Amino acid sequence: MHTFSSLVQCDGCVDACIHILVRKILNLRLFEDEGGRAWSKSVMDRDFEVLCVSQFTLQCILKGNKPDFHSAMPAELAQPFYNSILESMRSAYKPELIKDGKFGAYMQVQIQNDGPVTIELASPAGPTDARLLSKQEKQQQRKEKTRSKGPSESGREKGAQRSRQDPNASSGAEGDVSSEREP
């Protein structure tokens, strides 16, 4: 069993997003073939079941020590979107092999995972959430400011200077978890 996290942030492209996600989920070559060659067969190739479970907690962002779920799609939009994905998967594959949980319910699902593989599927449309766009713009502005300051010393040069000044100072390598922060 492999886990799929879909970060779908579409506005006017819901049908396109659904089509892309369904195609990817059903056609990703995640399973070994009859000869044991890894990453060569898809769900459809192997006639496997697909278990779809809506899980908004995958959209968790930590704010300090508290989880924040504001980037998750609101339930009134997410439920029809989720149902459309299920309908599309059932029409593209064998309907009896598409299983699902109950939307928004507390569930205990017993599965047997086969390997530590998580595949994150994202919409090619990119984020349309104003907060995410604003955050990305600010990050881009910081990058541009950093570039416009001219060439800076590399981490290796800084580490060499620091070790000449203080032989006990760490370069940040070899498992040291200390770091320098920009103001």
Residue 150: what pLDDT? 55
Residue 177: what pLDDT? 36
Active site residues: 57
- Among the ranges given (33-47, 83-97, 106-120), the one the predictor scored with the smallest mean pLDDT: 106-120
CA diameter of the chain: 69
User: b or e along 118-132 (b: 16 or more beta carbons within 10 Å of the residue's beta carbon)?
Assistant: eeeeebebebeeeee
- Domain total for the chain? 2
For residue 80, give its domain range.
3-128
Tell which wins on pLDDT, 144 or 175. Answer: 144
Residue 123: what pLDDT? 66
Q: Are 45 and 27 in contact, with CB atoms under 8 Å apart? A: no
**At 22, is the pLDDT very low, low, confident or very high (cuts 50, 70, 90)?**
very high
CB neighbours (10 Å) of residue 50? 19
Q: Are 136 and 19 in contact, with CB atoms under 8 Å apart? A: no
Residue 147: what pLDDT? 63
Most confidently predicted of 11-20, 44-53, 150-159 = 44-53
Phi, psi (degrees; rounded to nearest 5) at 69: -110, 20
User: b or e along 133-145 (b: 16 or more beta carbons within 10 Å of the residue's beta carbon)?
Assistant: eeeeeeeeeeeee
Same domain, 156 and 92: no
Same domain, 20 and 55: yes
pLDDT in tens, 97-152: 999 988 988 888 888 877 788 888 876 655 555 566 566 667 766 766 766 565 55
Same domain, 112 and 57: yes
User: How distant, in Å, are the alpha carbons of 31, 71, 126, 165 from that of 129?
Assistant: 35, 8, 9, 47
Question: Is pLDDT at 37 greater than 50 in this prediction?
Answer: yes
